[in-house]
Amino acid sequence: MSATKKKRQKLLRAIVGWLVALIMFFPVFWMALAAFKTEQDAAALPPLLFFHPTLENFAEMSERVGYLRHAWNSISVSFISTIFALLLAAPAAYVMAFHGTNRTRAVMLWMLSIRFMPAVGVLIPIYLILVSVRLLDTTFALTVIIGLSNLPLVVWMLYSYFKEVPSEILEAARMDGARPLTQLRYLLVPLTAPGIASTALLSIILAWNESFWAINITATDAGTLALAIASFANSEGLFWAKLSAASLASVAPILIFGWIMQRQLVRGLTFGAVK
Amino acid sequence: MRFWKFMATTAVGVVVGLGAAQAETTLTIATVNNPDMVVMQKYSAEYEAEKGVKLNWLVLDENTLRQRVTTDIATNGGQFDIITIGAYETPIWGKAGWLVPFDDLPADYDAEDMLPTVRDALSYEGKLYSVPFYAESAMTFYRKDLFEKAGLTMPDQPTWQQIADFAAKLDDKDNDIHGICVRGLPGWGENLALVGLMANVFGGVQFDMDWHSAVNSDNWKEAVQFYVDLANNYGPPGVVGNGFNENLALMSEGKCAMWNDATVAAGFLFDPKRSKVADKLGLAQMPIEKWNKGGAWLWAWALGVPSSSQQVDEAKAFIEWATSKGYIDMIGEKEGWVTIPPGTRKSTYENQNYLDAAPFAKPTLAAIENASLVDNTMEPKPYAGINFPLIPEMQAINNYLGQQVAAALTGKMSVSDALDDAAANADRVLQKAGYYK
């Protein structure tokens, strides 16, 4: 009796799991399909599942926007901004995790609260600053801004991973004369490597998908793939197929990267939970 | 350490890069990606080779571009040398001193050749602030084959009542043909573009002479009720999600008996490669009703030079090239006459090649020539503009109004409540802006 019940529960779980996965995957699948349609097929009602695939959207995309240049900007901005954020966040998280005061909590919450602010609220001030220091449309400015805007999240994640490390280990190291930077480098970082890796991965993905700053402070030199996608929407004529092709080409690198790293990501996100 | 070294190198690289870029003339152009602009981008390589300048393109969709360019111009950012702007922004930005006036166009440019209504739309106090690249108005597209089958004749100048009667007779939901396709998507450039025209010919004005909203007047309510009934009775399902692009797709798939929209749609609909109804289309003017003016809009996409540009002369030279007679002829010969940028020059409509290739040329010209920005409503009004007032507060007011019209369309609100609400909102916005206390 209980065996069949268990079986039934297992089946139900599998069905629900598949259903959720399919619902989440469907938009991506539909986008990938539309990327290989002609504009007329992409706009057809009822929607077409079977059609003659074409590569013309990709050809037009590479002709009209420099894909490689935008992709390179995306790669460099997302990786360097992540390194930048990690370098700033690691010492901060270390201090707050092991030398906390009674204000630590308030500081942490304040950092997080900054992320609640809509980016558009600071667009004009930041734009004015960039105009006066002549850094508009540079990957440098974009990297710094994205790195700083991901900083609170990175600090929070590192803080929670560092907290998992027993402070006795660090104490022992201090007894042996290890200074804070040495502790960080030889103890904390190796001990929490999976956590740091998943933090970095999340920060890279966030930076890769960032579109607000990319659209608003870059133009022809420092534009990332987000800016390239934005150039395919159109108010006079059909654009779904071209937009899908551009989106597919933009998410493909990060999708592949995420797929390769998924073991790290899952391990990092559940890190400590089994201790 | 390495990181900081990298950052320092990047910073130095950027500074050096800026220096190098200034050595040769580089013009940065911000534009929408409408088909005519894509063609311009393609042929500008010839200009680059000929004049030895380098053109950098930033292509964005209309709303993103508007936001991006506004930020840059308002902060004096100087990112762009040439911007694509419309008939809405030009007079407002010209007045604000954000644009360089075109008061020294060379004689061989033949500025007198520009269509007067388009030229006026891009001027403020008699000074031209942007040069038209292409212009459009609105017209009625209909299916000649369906009209013939039903024994109906479309007059050259229909009324909305006639359109509704035709729609009732041609609506054939069993065969997936809708009596009429209309814009339902909320927004000042979407549903309100059409509703604003309908309000004009039903005798309405958007603001009275004291700048109080008049969208809750009887004439406006009648017009919006007519629009809601027309769309709900004879329009396709889910009409509230349909903007210009969706209707273009429906019409070219052969699912609409009629459609009242932008003249630029003709270029697609008459192209057999992109449209299934290319040989079945008829054209008429936009409908009128109680009043015979203000039934069709005037819109122009134009090129302007922000006053923050450091290279005004070079930017102007490119704009003069891209809007010249010579450019139009070149596109006609290389890309086909049907695809030339329309609606800007009288000479375009005297060119036999174009008239032969484009059956929609003459009706388009008539619609553009009749679309005046000032004399178009039954009652006097304090603003210039046809289907929307040319004031800086327009987007805020009309986007809200568009939402309310959409709410009436889907039956969430009555037409009367929706318009009362929108009128109160408009009064609040103008009061805050200091039009009155």
- Count Cβ neighbours within 10 Å for each residue of B76-96 and write b for 16 or more, e otherwise: ebbbbbbbbbbbbbbbbbbee
Write down the pLDDT at residue B155. Answer: 96
Q: How far apart, in whole angstroms, are the C-alpha atoms of residue B344 and residue B111?
A: 10
Per-residue pLDDT tens for B77-95? 999 999 999 999 999 999 9
Q: Which CATH architecture has domain B25-136+298-358?
A: 3-Layer(aba) Sandwich (3.40)
Q: What's the DSSP call for residue A184?
A: I
Nearest CA in chain B to A144: B7
* Position B48 confidence tier, pLDDT thresholds 50, 70, 90: very high
Write down the pLDDT at residue A108. Answer: 92
pLDDT at A129 over 80: yes
Q: Which domain holds residue A189?
A: 66-231
Nearest CA in chain A to B236: A45
Q: How large a percentage of chain B has pLDDT more than 90?
A: 76
- The arithmetic mean of pLDDT across residues B396-403, rounded, is 94
pLDDT at A52 over 80: yes
- The arithmetic mean of pLDDT across residues B15-23, rounded, is 47
Using alpha carbons, select from B126, B86, B111 the residue that is nearest to residue B347: B111
Q: How large a percentage of chain B has pLDDT more than 70?
A: 95
pLDDT at A275 over 50: no
pLDDT at B44 over 60: yes
| CA of A96 vs chain B CAs: smallest distance (Å) | 24
As given in the structure block, the two tokens for residue A53 are: 């695939």
Write down the pLDDT at residue B55. Answer: 93
Number of domains in chain A: 1
Range in B14-23, B137-146, B163-172 the model is least confident about? B14-23
Q: Which residue of B41, B78, B244 is in closest CB contact with A236?
A: B244
Q: How far apart, in whole angstroms, are the C-alpha atoms of residue A109 and residue A112?
A: 5
Q: How far apart, in whole angstroms, are the C-alpha atoms of residue A96 and residue A105?
A: 9
Fold classification of B138-296+374-432 is D-Maltodextrin-Binding Protein; domain 2 (3.40.190)
- The arithmetic mean of pLDDT across residues B386-401, rounded, is 93
pLDDT at B242 over 50: yes
Per-residue pLDDT tens for A81-123? 999 999 999 999 999 999 888 999 999 999 989 888 888 889 9
Write down the pLDDT at residue A82. Answer: 97
Are B35 and A237 inside 8 Å of each other by CB? yes
Q: How far apart, in whole angstroms, are the C-alpha atoms of residue B427 and residue B320?
A: 42
Are A84 and B3 inside 8 Å of each other by CB? yes
Nearest CA in chain A to B18: A134
Give residue for tokens 């040069």.
B131
Write down the pLDDT at residue B19. Answer: 45
Per-residue pLDDT tens for A55-64? 888 888 887 7
In a domain, A117, yes or no: yes
As given in the structure block, the two tokens for residue A125 are: 């001030």
Per-residue pLDDT tens for B245-267? 889 989 998 999 999 999 988 88
| CA of A233 vs chain B CAs: smallest distance (Å) | 5
Are B60 and A231 inside 8 Å of each other by CB? yes
Give residue for tokens 């697609």.
B268
In a domain, A224, yes or no: yes
Using alpha carbons, select from B249, B284, B300 the residue that is nearest to residue B139: B284
Going edge to edge, which strands form the sheet with B138-143?
A: B258-262, B138-143, B281-285
Write down the pLDDT at residue B20. Answer: 46
CATH label of the domain that carries residue A133: 1.10.3720.10
Tell me the torsion sign for CA atoms A44, A47, A49, A50: negative
Residues of A with CB under 8 A from a CB of B: 39-40, 43-45, 64-65, 80, 83-84, 87, 123-124, 127-128, 131, 134-140, 215-216, 219-221, 223, 227, 230-239
User: Rg of chain B over CA atoms, in angstroms?
Assistant: 23
Sheet strands (E) in B89-182: 123-124, 127-128, 131-136, 138-143
* Position B437 confidence tier, pLDDT thresholds 50, 70, 90: confident
Give one DSSP letter per residue of B198-231, joined into a string: HHHHTT--SB-TTS-B-TTSHHHHHHHHHHHHHH
Q: How far apart, in whole angstroms, are the C-alpha atoms of residue B417 and residue B184?
A: 18
- The arithmetic mean of pLDDT across residues B193-217, rounded, is 96
Per-residue pLDDT tens for B356-385? 999 899 989 999 998 888 889 999 999 999
Q: Where in chain B is the domain with CATH 3.40.190.10?
A: 25-136+298-358, 138-296+374-432
End-to-end CA distance of chain B: 61
Give one DSSP letter per residue of B300-352, joined into a string: EEEEE-BTT-S-HHHHHHHHHHHTSHHHHHHHHHHH-GGGSPPSSBGGGGG-H
* Helices within B78-159 (DSSP H only): 89-95, 116-121, 144-149
* Position A5 confidence tier, pLDDT thresholds 50, 70, 90: confident
Chain A CB contacts of B68 under 8 Å are 215-216
Cβ neighbours of residue A130 under 8 Å, at least 6 residues apart? A136, A141, A217
Q: Which residue, among A135, A235, A240, A247, would best test binding to B if mutated, counting the most B CBs under 10 Å from its CB?
A: A235
